[in-house]
Each structure stands twice: as structure tokens, then as C-alpha cells.
Amino acid sequence: MDTKMAASNFTVIYDACVLFPTPLRDLLIRLAQKGIFRARWTQDIHHEWIENLLIKRENLQRKRIEKTAALMDKAIPDSLVYGYEPLIKRLSLPDKNDRHVLAAAIKGQAEVIVTFNLKDFPKDYLIEFDIWTQHPDEFISHLIDLHPQLVILAAKEQRQALKKPTIEIDDFLAILLRQQLPRTVTFLKQYKDLI
């Protein structure tokens, strides 16, 4: 399997909600490392997913989660978008707290916002910026259509990294299914022996 791909200009913004769950975040970062698209986010997006994770999982240590964010930034060079803040007040979305994500997408020249919260980013408004939203399962499904071998490889690398304890393939796929990735899991099931 050829894993070396030229870096793509196709750019996406990861919303905080897709970075919040560890298994999904891990898969999305591994996919971005394949170079078939450019993943971006902001310090505000980091702040949002980190704060939500600390609220939900009080036993986690802030320093450890912040280290994860720093490792993400290191894993995907030029992932952080800067200078988007002046755009925020000029944008109009159903939830004003989502404006920073759209502002980052505009400034970062993203074509897609990967999010679970599709209704928070109305298509008729985003179209004027040439930006679309995609559920993570839809996003990964498009990657499967274009580069199936790299999606398999990213899943394999993710599963192999889970060593304490090791995770059986069916359990790993069940974890991904809980991340709301039914189409992705249906595809990966066909290649269980490669993962």
C-alpha cells in the first residue's frame, strides 16, 4: 500500500464536537496525516473540546488533555488558524457560539466544516462562503471513495496503537460505531483482516 501522498489543498475545519470523543479524534488526525486533505482548527476550538471533556470526565487532568492538543498541533503542521477573530462579529448563525468555527473556516480557506451539528451551520448561509458541512461519517465516506487504502491504513494504525489492552477487531469496530460512523464501519468490516 502506497502511503505517501502529496499534500492536498482540500481543506477542512474540525469542529470541537468531532474532536471531543477520543476515538473519533484519533481517527480524524490519523486520516489528516495521510496528506489527502488539510485539517485545521483553532485555539478556540481546542478550548471548546477540552472544556467539554473536563466537564464530562472530571477525573481527567487538564495538563494531560492540553498535551494531547499540543500533540495534535505537532502531528498536523500548519493546522492552527489565526487571525479569524475580526470576522466573528460579522457572521450570523443560529448559535452565536459557533461563529468562531465559521470564521476559522473562512480565514483558513476551508471547503468543509466537519461537524455533528449540521443544523447549526445553515447551508443557505454557508453557500455564500463556498463552505459546506459534513457529518464525520459522510466526510470519511468521501475519503473512502477517493482513497480506500489510506482509510484502512489509518484504522489499522489506530487499532495497533491501542495496546493497553489490545483491542480485538470487532471491539474496535464497535468503538467506531459508537462514534456515529455506520458507513465507515460497514466499509472497514470488509477489510477486517487488514486492520
pTM, full prediction: 0.92
CATH superfamily of 11-141: 5'-nuclease (3.40.50.1010)
How far apart, in Å, are the Cα atoms of 105 and each of 121, 131, 132, 139?
A: 12, 8, 10, 16
Question: Would you tell me how many other CB atoms lie within 10 Å of the CB of residue 152?
Answer: 18
Span 133-182, pLDDT tens digits: 999 999 999 999 999 999 999 999 999 998 878 899 999 999 999 999 99
Picking from 143, 126, 121, 127, the residue whose alpha carbon sits closest to that of residue 188 is 143
Query: Where are the domains positioned within the chain?
Result: 11-141, 148-194
Helices and strands, number each (H, E), in the chain: 11, 4
Closest CA to 152 of 183, 192, 179, 182: 192
Per-residue pLDDT reduced to its tens digit, 39-80? 999 999 999 999 998 888 878 888 999 999 999 999 999 999
